[in-house]
Structure 1
Amino acid sequence: MTFSEYLDYWLDNHSKSNTAPRTHENYHYMITQHIKPILGHIKISKLQSSHLQEYYAQKLSGGKLDGNGLSAQSVKHHHRLISKALKDAMRWEFIIRNVAAVITPPKTKKVEMQTWDNEQVKAFLEAAKSSPYFPIYFTAINTGMRRGEVLGVRWQDIDFDNKVIYVRQSLQEVKKVGLTFKEPKSGKSRSITVTPTFTKEMKKVYKQQLENKLLFGQAYHDLDLVFAQKNGKPIQPTEMARNYLMVVESCGLPYIRFHDLRHTHATLLLQQGVHPKVVSERLGHSTIGITMDTYTHV
């Protein structure tokens, strides 16, 4: 069996049923576009550590379609995928050893995190007030939830009396499938306490949604989503991303990604003296160590 044939087998018999659709899609892309063209012809039993080391060096120097090299982080993802696939091959007795286990992947540089300060957050929210996505931006900044988590939150997930929002599902976009819902990244739900200002803002959203339901009648797609299109269907992340960029440019702030609103939330909390354990739980990190490592600059 060639490495290419094995990777096809692994994708069909393991990845498809054991990973999230978006993750499987990413694995499929890495394997078909990068790994198979270079390593696919080698018999899996003849694959050597030196083959992988040469592959990583090649990708770092010119792995992109335009001839430029891939980042060390991207090559690290390739290494993790290859190592995982070979570990499973050992388990299924296709091979007797995992040649990726003895290789050290490329060292990645820690990129300085981009966040806004309190005044910049106020300026952004002020500029975003006329945007139909304002409640989404407001939620991301005030809860530290990931984009998919914000877009996946339902009315049943908000406890107005106790001012708590529960993160139980996440919206994701998958090619050939479209928008789907999955478990949060950590695989388990979490709760986030919110302010009276936040619940007041959500009640405005609820009132507007009731008007939309009356307007659309039977044509309204009621998925219980807090943030939805006027007809109740899920928000298109790409549409929102365009609007987000437009708002940031309109107020002259340094550009940060939508995901950096999550980092901004955590940074502001830590600067105010909130205990890292509390911040870790709000963000849904599996350990406080991840939070401490991510926000060492604070």
Structure 2
Amino acid sequence: MGELRTRKRGKTWEYSFEGAKIDGKRKPISKGGFRTKADALNAGIKAKAEYDSGGRVFTPSAISLSDYLDYWYKRYASKLTYKTQDTYKNHIRLHIKPYLGSYRISSLEPDVIQEWVDEVLHSQKKLARQSIANILGVLSGALNYAVQPLRYIRSNPCIYVKIPDIKVDKKAKDHTDFVLSKEDWKQIKEYFSSAPESHSYLFFPLIVGYHTGERIGEIFGTDLLADYNPVRHTLSVSHQLQKQKGILLYTNPKYDSFRINKIDSLLEAEIQKELKRRECDRLRYREYYKNTYLLPDNTIVQLPADSQVPDSYQEIWPLGVKQDGTILTTEHAKHMSRIVKDKVGIELFHPHCLRHTHGTILAQSGASPKTIMERLGHKNIKVTMERYVFNTEEMQNQAVSLFENAIK
């Protein structure tokens, strides 16, 4: 490209240089308004360097991993869901930058990354194998982007790195793989049927999770006005509820897994019961009841029942609310979990086990893997069968009986 030039225009200075030709004609790039020639020259040098490097303000071969990750996060990760962004940001801040951030990406070798995995993530931090895989995955994804489409480096050094064999913590595995038995569920129902008012409002989301296998965010993201269809006996998964920087909003379900699930008569009876309870609560609290509204930007607000509401506000009935209409969020699932552990005595309970339990019951009862996959909103059957359907004792007994009958 052409040389950088400066000139005085009136009382201020301007820089200019020649850009790429458009339709065969020269395209000058300039900016004025600088107080001195030196100011114009310095700004011009910076602008021309950025232009010549395709909009980058750095030399790819010299950039540190720390600065590159900032660049990658802004260009790529910022397009992901808020929850994924937050996870990536924490992995970068806590695990990657403090140990590898000072390296130039062009000099980052597999042995350096392998040492970081072995000595820092495994030996010092004692992270679980899956946690290490997730953190390494963020780094590898960022460096893949540096290979293509950016072409800052020729190959990704992470592809040669191996995650160490880590013995599975049996207690942790038992917790992760926990599936509720019929007796467990009976005990949970018995407790909540006579629980104090401060606990009872948590039971309905728990029931929905048990009967549908929906993700926690999807449960709390259900709008009973729009998503429940009493004629077709269905419950739609249209949103998940998230909190971003203290603001509640509806976002698409994970993997955009919009779906309409048939529901059983027991769940439908509970939904009807909940709707009647809510009508009674509205009469009980009157103007102090909190109505919930969805705004055009998908944020959620709550206003007293006697408030003047703009036309753009769409009233919704969140699946989970307290007696006064206060909306429940995914954070209340932690409270639900503590109650089941402390009051019912099921130590291994966690909210996600409702999803495992639903998938396992369906498989145990003969539902096809594809039906289970679609009901749970998975991308493929492998995830469903490996992570969400567990080989219970009843299923093992069925397998033995099938084999025995086959060879008689």
TM-score of the two chains, using structure 2 as the length reference? 0.67
Which of 163, 188, 191 lines up with 2:257 in the alignment? 188
1:115 paired to 2:175: no
The CA distance in 2 between the partners of 1:181 and 1:234, in whole Å, is 13
Query: 2:327 maps to which residue?
Result: 234
Paired with 1:292 and 1:203, the residues of 2 have a C-alpha distance of 33
1:74 to 2:137 alignment:
no
| C-alpha separation in 2, matches of 1:33 and 1:94 | 25
* Deviation digits for residues 260-284 of structure 1 (CA, Å, limit 9, x no counterpart): 1111111122222222222111111
- 151, 157, 161: which one pairs with 2:220? 151
SS of equivalent residue, structure 1 residue 286: coil
**Which segment drifts farther, 263-272 or 108-117?**
108-117
Please, which of 361, 366, 383 is the counterpart of residue 273 of structure 1?
A: 366
For 1:181, what is the secondary structure of its paired residue?
strand
**Matched AA of 1:243:** M
- Counterpart AA for 2:184: Q
> Which sections of structure 2, spanning at least 5 residues, go unmatched?
1-62, 294-315, 393-408
CA distance in 1, matches of 2:335, 2:267: 24
- Whether 1:250 and 2:311 are equivalent positions in the alignment is no
| 1:284 aligned partner | 377
Verify the 8 A CA contact 1:216 1:231 in the aligned structure 2: no
Matches within 5 A, 1:93-108: 93-107=151-165
Q: What letter is aligned with 1:276?
A: P
1:21 aligned partner, one-letter code:
Y
Could you tell me whether the CA contact under 8 Å between 1:76 and 1:106 is conserved in 2?
no
- CA RMSD between the two structures: 2.1
Does 1:54 pair with 2:115? yes
Conserved? CA contact 2:337–2:349, under 8 Å: no
Q: Deviations over 1:129-180 (max 9, x none)?
A: 2321111111000111111110000120111111111111111234x33433
Residue 22 of structure 1 contacts residue 173 of structure 1 at CA under 8 Å; is this kept in 2?
A: no
Aligned partner (choices 143, 146, 150) of residue 92 of structure 1: 150
8 Å CA contact retained: 2:290, 2:324? yes
Structure with the larger RCO, 1 or 2 (CA within 8 Å, 6+ apart): 1
Tell me by how many angstroms 1:89 deviates: 1.4
Q: Which stretch shows the higher mean deviation, 156-165 or 240-249?
A: 240-249
Q: Is 1:297 aligned with 2:358?
A: no
Q: What is the one-letter code of the residue matched to 2:380? A: T
Comparing 258-267 with 219-228, greater Cα deviation is found at 219-228
The Cα of 1:193 is off from its aligned counterpart by: 1.0
Which 10-residue stretch deviates more, 232-241 or 103-112?
103-112
Contact (CA 8 Å) 1:128, 1:247: kept in 2 or not? no
Q: Which amino acid aligns with 1:185?
A: K
Query: How many angstroms apart in 2 are the aligned matches of 1:116 and 1:210?
Result: 32
In structure 1, C-alpha distance between the alignment counterparts of 2:167 and 2:256, rounded to whole Å: 28
- When residues 229 and 13 of structure 1 are mapped into structure 2, their CA distance, relative to the original with a 3 A threshold, is farther
Moved more, 219-228 or 75-84: 219-228
State the shift of 1:296 in Å. 5.3
What does residue 15 of structure 1 align with? Answer: 77
- Structure 2 counterpart SS, 1:94: coil
More off after superposition, 76-85 vs 187-196? 187-196
CA deviations 1:62-93 (Å, max 9, x no partner) are: 12xxxxx1111111011110111011112122
Q: Distance in 1 between matches of 2:356 and 2:166?
A: 20
Name the CA distance, whole Å, in 2 between partners of 1:81 and 1:186: 18
| Deviates most, 242-251 or 216-225 | 216-225
CA distance in 1, matches of 2:75, 2:228: 38
* 1:208 matched residue in structure 2: 277
Question: What amino acid is the match of 2:103?
Answer: I
Q: Is the 8 A contact 1:141 1:261 kept in 2?
A: yes
Give the counterpart of 1:125 among 186, 189, 198. Answer: 189
Q: Secondary structure at the match of 2:256?
A: coil
Q: Give the deviation of 1:45 after TM superposition.
A: 0.9
1:108 is displaced (CA, Å) by 6.3
1:78-137 Cα distance to aligned partner (Å, 9 max, x none): 111011101111212222221112323345667351111112112112212232111111
Distance 1:296 1:241, change over 3 A: closer
Structure with greater helix percent = 1
Residue ranges of structure 1 left out of the alignment (5+ in a row): 64-68
Change (3 A) 1:287 1:108: farther
Report the CA distance shift for 1:253/1:219 in structure 2 as closer, same or farther (over 3 A): closer
Q: Give percent identity, aligned residues only.
A: 27
Measured in 2, the distance between the counterparts of 1:188 and 1:261 equals 18
